[in-house]
């Protein structure tokens, strides 16, 4: 039996997607795959047992039915955090090792999901990724998701710390304009420094898309029209603070983008509605006029009203679209196809001895 730890340079980088994709791939090849997430930050209770919500979802996708308290022996609740800072955590690694031994019985491969950033998260309570990987005798894959840059320094530090236990790195959500530089400059540099690049995933809008109903909830807003279309999907957003002519130019290039606009900008609101945007997000807690409300209902375009100003809402939208969790099997299947089409499994199998 071999263990593969899936970590990332920072949070919300695609660890769950990679774990599900690799798990499904290896199951299809006939391997008996187990799963564990030693440290969970999304408490989840089922049948009186506490686990991690992300871990429960991954288990469901992989068709596993394991005790959530074993899958995630360390669940970071408010009480846990207070105790950690006041009394200390004690020896959590021993509990992780015991749970791992139980879950790995009869398995060919154990997938181990990380939490947060590989080189730092969990240090305060003694369960950072390096300690977990060492304690479980596992190998590791590192994911780096583009956010204005790739984190090559973090990758190199992890590579130096792990040595031969680093299987390689997967780059996620790489924009088209950076793809050539990454493949021609960064990947060869990492290879020269002993880090294999297992795959490069391009930006895929569907993977970060979110339903209007979920978006309204995350923004603490209220849907005020076309409620029956709250399941429409938003892939991106535009800010409607410019003049209508300039807005039109940007709008035509960005389909499936929600439009964030002040509640008093009926000119931009009407253009966005007629252009079939998935939803309008009106800021400043201002109701639209009757014409806008009527067109919204006729065109089946939901309007979400929020209290905050346009700039604040735009910043929140950016965070939501980069941290929104996969919870839709259509997106999971789509993501798994993308992941498994780019990962070099020959390197993975070789380094895992499969």
What's the pLDDT tens digit per position in 61-80? 999 998 999 999 999 988 99
Task: Name residues whose C-beta falls within 8 Å of residue 16's C-beta, 6 or more positions apart in sequence.
Answer: 54, 57, 58, 113, 325, 326
Give the chain's end-to-end CA distance (angstroms, integer). Answer: 9
* Residues 124 and 232 placed together within one structural domain of the fold: no
Contact between 45 and 37 under an 8 Å Cβ cutoff? The reply is: no
* Residue 190 tokens, joined: 């990492």
* Residues 94 and 197 placed together within one structural domain of the fold: yes
Q: Residue 156 pLDDT > 90, yes or no?
A: yes
- Give residue 79's domain range: 2-205+325-352
* Residues 185 and 215 placed together within one structural domain of the fold: no
Q: Pairing between strand 303-305 and 2-8?
A: unpaired
* Residues 186 and 218 placed together within one structural domain of the fold: no
> Hey, what long-range contacts does 336-342 have (CB within 8 A, 24 or more apart)?
336/17, 336/20, 336/21, 336/24, 336/25, 338/201, 338/204, 338/207, 339/17, 339/18, 339/21, 339/22, 339/170, 339/199, 339/201, 340/21, 340/22, 340/24, 340/25, 342/170, 342/199, 342/200, 342/201
* Residues 88 and 17 placed together within one structural domain of the fold: yes
Predicted confidence at residue 196, as pLDDT, reads 97
* CATH at residue 174: 3.40.50.300
* Residues 265 and 156 placed together within one structural domain of the fold: no
* Residues 15 and 113 placed together within one structural domain of the fold: yes
Contact between 38 and 135 under an 8 Å Cβ cutoff? The reply is: no
Predicted confidence at residue 250, as pLDDT, reads 63
Dihedrals phi, psi of 133, to nearest 5 degrees = -60, -45
* Residues 75 and 186 placed together within one structural domain of the fold: yes
Arithmetic mean of pLDDT over the chain = 90
In whole angstroms, what is the distance from residue 276 CA to residue 291 CA? 16
Contact between 113 and 150 under an 8 Å Cβ cutoff? The reply is: no
What's the pLDDT tens digit per position in 178-235? 999 999 999 999 999 999 999 999 988 778 788 899 899 999 999 999 999 998 888 8
**pLDDT band at residue 146 using 50, 70 and 90 as cut-offs:** very high
Q: Pairing between strand 166-174 and 197-202?
A: parallel
* Residues 279 and 130 placed together within one structural domain of the fold: no
What is the count of structural domains for the chain? Answer: 2
* Residue 342 tokens, joined: 């780019």
* Residues 123 and 86 placed together within one structural domain of the fold: yes
Site of tokens 């710390």: 161
> Residue 261 pairs with which residues in a beta bridge?
282
* CATH at residue 281: 3.40.1390.20
- For residue 327, how far is the Cα from the chain centroid? 10
* Residues 62 and 149 placed together within one structural domain of the fold: yes
* Residues 53 and 178 placed together within one structural domain of the fold: yes
Predicted confidence at residue 321, as pLDDT, reads 80
CA dihedral 68, 74, 76, 82 (to 10 degrees): 140
Predicted confidence at residue 322, as pLDDT, reads 73
């Amino acid at each position: 039996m071999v263990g593969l730890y899936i970590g990332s340079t920072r949070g919300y980088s695609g660890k769950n997607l990679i774990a599900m994709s690799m798990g499904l791939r290896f199951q299809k090849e006939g391997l008996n795959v187990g799963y564990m997430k030693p440290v969970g930050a999304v408490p989840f209770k089922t049948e009186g047992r506490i686990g991690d919500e992300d871990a429960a979802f991954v288990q469901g996708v992989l068709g596993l039915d394991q005790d959530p308290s074993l899958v995630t022996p360390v669940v970071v609740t408010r009480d846990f955090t207070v105790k950690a800072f006041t009394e200390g955590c004690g020896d959590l690694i021993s509990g992780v090792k015991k749970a791992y031994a139980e879950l790995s019985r009869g398995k060919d491969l154990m997938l181990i999901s990380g939490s947060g950033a590989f080189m730092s998260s969990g240090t305060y309570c003694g369960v950072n990724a390096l300690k977990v990987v060492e304690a479980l005798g596992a190998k590791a894959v590192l994911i780096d998701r583009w956010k204005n840059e790739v984190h090559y320094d973090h990758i190199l530090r992890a590579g130096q710390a792990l040595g031969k236990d680093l299987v390689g790195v997967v780059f996620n959500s790489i924009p088209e304009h950076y793809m050539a530089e990454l493949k021609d400059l960064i990947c060869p540099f990492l290879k020269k420094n002993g880090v294999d690049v297992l795959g490069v995933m391009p930006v895929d809008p569907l993977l970060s898309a979110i339903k209007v109903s979920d978006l309204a909830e995350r923004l603490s807003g209220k849907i005020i029209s076309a409620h029956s279309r709250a399941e429409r999907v938003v892939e991106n957003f535009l800010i409607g603070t410019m003049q209508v002519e300039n807005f039109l130019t940007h709008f035509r290039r960005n389909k499936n983008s929600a439009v964030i606009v002040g509640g008093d900008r009926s000119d931009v609101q009407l253009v966005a509605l007629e252009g079939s945007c998935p939803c309008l997000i009106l800021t400043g807690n201002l109701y639209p006029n009757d014409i806008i409300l009527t067109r919204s209902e006729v065109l089946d375009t939901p309007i979400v009203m929020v209290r905050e100003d346009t700039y604040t809402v735009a910043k929140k939208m950016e965070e939501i679209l980069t941290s929104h969790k996969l919870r839709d099997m259509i997106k999971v299947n789509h993501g798994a196809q993308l992941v498994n089409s780019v990962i070099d499994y020959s390197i993975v199998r070789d380094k895992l001895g499969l």
